[in-house]
A and B are shown apart, each in its own frame.
Chain A
Amino acid sequence: MFYLAYLKAELLRRWGKTTIIALGLAIASAIIITIISTSQGLSDSQEQVLNPLENVGTDIMVSRSVDTEKMGDLDEATRAELASENRVTTDLSKLGKAGESFSLDTFLAGTMLTFASSDTKKLTSDLAKEYATGLILNVTHQEGKIPEITAEFQTGPESFQIPDVAPLTDAERAAVDAARQKAIADLQAKGIDPNSEEGRQAVREAEQAVMPERFKNRTFTAPSRTFRQTLETPQTDIKTENFTIAGVDTSKTDIGLILPSQITEGSYFNSQDQVVVNLSYAQKKGLKVGDTLTFNSKKLTIVGIVDPKLYTNTADVYVPIADLQTIASKAGRINIILIKAPNADAVEDTSNKIAGLFTGAKVINSNDTAAQVTGSLISAASLMNRFIGLTSIIVILAAFIIVSLITVFSVNKRTQEIGTLKGIGWKNPSISRQIFLENLVIGIFGAILGVGLGVAAILLLNQANIVFTANVASSNAGAGFIPFMRRFAEATASASTANLKLNVTFNYLVLSLGAAVAIVGSVVAGALAAFKVSRMKPQEALRQL
């Protein structure tokens, strides 16, 4: 076949031109592949964060999470419950003689009030295909030497408790609300964020100022001795540490706060006295599988490291729920239920029905969680989504223009050759086919090279360990909402940050698209050149010598 010999001769003997065009096409194709794949990678990561519930087989989440912003609106019973769930022993003398070392873990529900695990009986099969319970608590760990000062006081262990007071009347509440609104408005006028430490302090003071007298000192009604003691706690070497612990429903493997499939190292619970540690907490504390953690003298061995995906309710350490109920003296209590709806299409509906069954509970479904996410991942993904179309079009256009120019230029350079072919009797279709074939083959080379480059770029991107963060508001604000507890709560994070490594995956569709860009670009340029050839008159072609 003469035209194949001609094609081969043309491509090989003009290898410089062949290489440049193929390389140009390859780069365009690789850019397209990389851009689209990266964008997909970002979308996938975004999906993970935006649908945290789905990651743990959950459609609906039930808790009694209290909104700290609306603390003033709580009814008397809830307020009392909140106080009792966050009761802290302040008298360390009970733990031993002064000067002796002690280690104390206090388990507090924070803003996620507990409820009886028997409540789950309400979840009939038409409401829940499957469900898992959970208990997420804040742990305040203190250790050091028992301070000397406790000897001065003959009083027994004093518990700090917020006393019962008559609730605010409607008028009083209106006054408090008005003061809060005014304080917030004033702050905003001054350019201070009402949610900042300073802002919250100012709002609190404004609220306190208009509180009825019976509320004014509601946090300080304990005997003055206790009060003095708290303020004058001697400086000893007591170290306080806060972290969160979650009790996991180990009877379920595809729904729960953590799933066996999320274990990144070691194993899931398989025996007694075991604990699984969150990857980020393990990294922060330098914990490894095989290390032990002690909670109130109960030793637990770390069996696994977990990378939990339920960002709104992550904990630092995880234990089987029964163990946590024992350690924290909360037998039969849970504070979260994760529910898989019987019908994926009727989540909203089921969610409403469940909300009706659990009065006062907060029922969240997957649609609600997405809105709570912020962070670099979200900005990168939205940026990518916004520009991907434009960038791809620019790249394709640029590639097309460059290839067309090179092709047309090379056809012009071959004017004499084309004229000669016409002179010796070649018909237009034969010459056009020859040029077209050349471009097709170059396009195919470009496509192969482009896919190779694209895959290399993706591998490099994955090697580069690009990490995006997503900030997810946590359901549990911790115990920091009680003025007294702030002393311990210095390290409690109110939002969890999910770090997601950019993972760009190969997608055959995208690779084919990239390849198609190279081939189509080259073929279109070839068609243009072929058209130009057919318009050339042989004598014109010959004259340009």
Chain B
Amino acid sequence: MALIEIKDLTKVYKSGRSTIRAVDGINLVVEKGDFLVVIGPSGSGKSTLLQLLGCLDKPTSGEIKIDDKEVNRFSDARLAELRQNKLGFIFQSFNLIPTLTARQNVEAAIAKRGKGDKNKALEVLEKVGLAERADHLPSLLSGGEQQRVATARALINDPEIILADEPTGNLDSRTGKEILDILKNLNREKKQTVIIVTHSEYAREFANKVVEMRDGKLQTEKI
């Protein structure tokens, strides 16, 4: 049984009179332990695909099965639970909460019913090599450091699936590679599934599976 199974997934945006088929009838299977890189230029629909996978958005048609469950039919609350327990997100622009310190940002991801866990947050920050900057506000961290905090935040709940939207997009290639290294290690050690959408060619090196996306459609490249 595949971890993620996508069938005929389509997302249509309407803007004014024109309709944009951001995701256009995609079929894709992701196995547990895959390191999938979706590569493609801006506007190819790869971010939309990732948002659909992360249950942040609902498809126009088609289905997404995670663990053989069709997530499109989940309620908002159940989706939130799924995101908290199974999924870890890394955003292109880091999306750290500006008023919280690095540690608090990480802690926020496990803050259930208001209770956090400082020590666990520190552990994860240590894993991404940022323990000594735990009490800094995001504004005092460099781009790479911020993305490492965001990565730590995505990892703290030990998600089965890590979804990263252009994780290296705002970073220079050296820092970008550092982030990908962290993800690759997790993928190797803990068999966590990593799905990255990016336009950085160097991401290919880390993947065991690469798909190219163009105009909402997929071309499988490397399996």
Contact = CB atoms under 8 A, between A and B. Distances in A.
B193 interface: no
A417 B98 contact: yes
Given A10-B99, A545-B93, A538 B114 contact: no
A423 B54 contact: yes
Contact of A423 (B77, B93, B95, B115): B95
From DSSP, what is the main secondary structure of chain A's interface residues?
A: helix
Contact of B100 (A6, A425, A427): A6
Interface in A423-476: 423-428, 430
Contact of A9 (B84, B100, B114): B100
A9 B102 CA distance: 12
Given A2-B115, A3-B114, A6-B104, A422 B99 contact: no
Interface string A348-375: 0000000000000000000000000000
Contact of B104 (A9, A419, A538, A539): A9
A10 B88 CA distance: 24
Interface in B145-166: 153-154, 157
B99 A9 contact: yes
Contact of A1 (B84, B88, B114): B114
B95 A420 contact: yes
B205 interface: no
Specify which of A6, A425, A542, A545 lies most central, judged by the most chain B CB atoms within 10 Å of its CB. Answer: A425
A375 B95 CA distance: 67
Interface residues of B, number: 37
Nearest to B121: A2
Interface in B72-129: 76-77, 80-85, 87-89, 91, 93, 95-101, 104, 107-109, 111, 113-116
A163 to B, nearest CB: 99
B56 A542 contact: yes
Given A416-B95, A537-B57, A539-B56, A427 B111 contact: no
Interface in A396-431: 416-417, 419-428, 430
Interface residues of A, number: 28
A284 interface: no
Contact of A2 (B107, B137, B157): B107
A426 B80 contact: yes
Contacts of A77: none
Contacts of A10: 99
B93 A428 contact: no
A285 interface: no
Nearest to A434: B114
A70 interface: no
A5 B116 CA distance: 10
Contacts of B95: 416-417, 419-420, 423, 542
25 contacts: A1-B116, A2-B104, A2-B114, A6-B111, A9-B100, A9-B101, A9-B104, A13-B98, A13-B137, A419-B95, A421-B97, A424-B154, A425-B81, A425-B82, A425-B83, A425-B87, A425-B157, A426-B80, A426-B84, A426-B108, A427-B80, A538-B57, A542-B51, A542-B56, A542-B91
Interface of B: 51, 54, 56-57, 76-77, 80-85, 87-89, 91, 93, 95-101, 104, 107-109, 111, 113-116, 137, 153-154, 157
Interface of A: 1-6, 9-10, 13-14, 416-417, 419-428, 430, 537-539, 542, 545
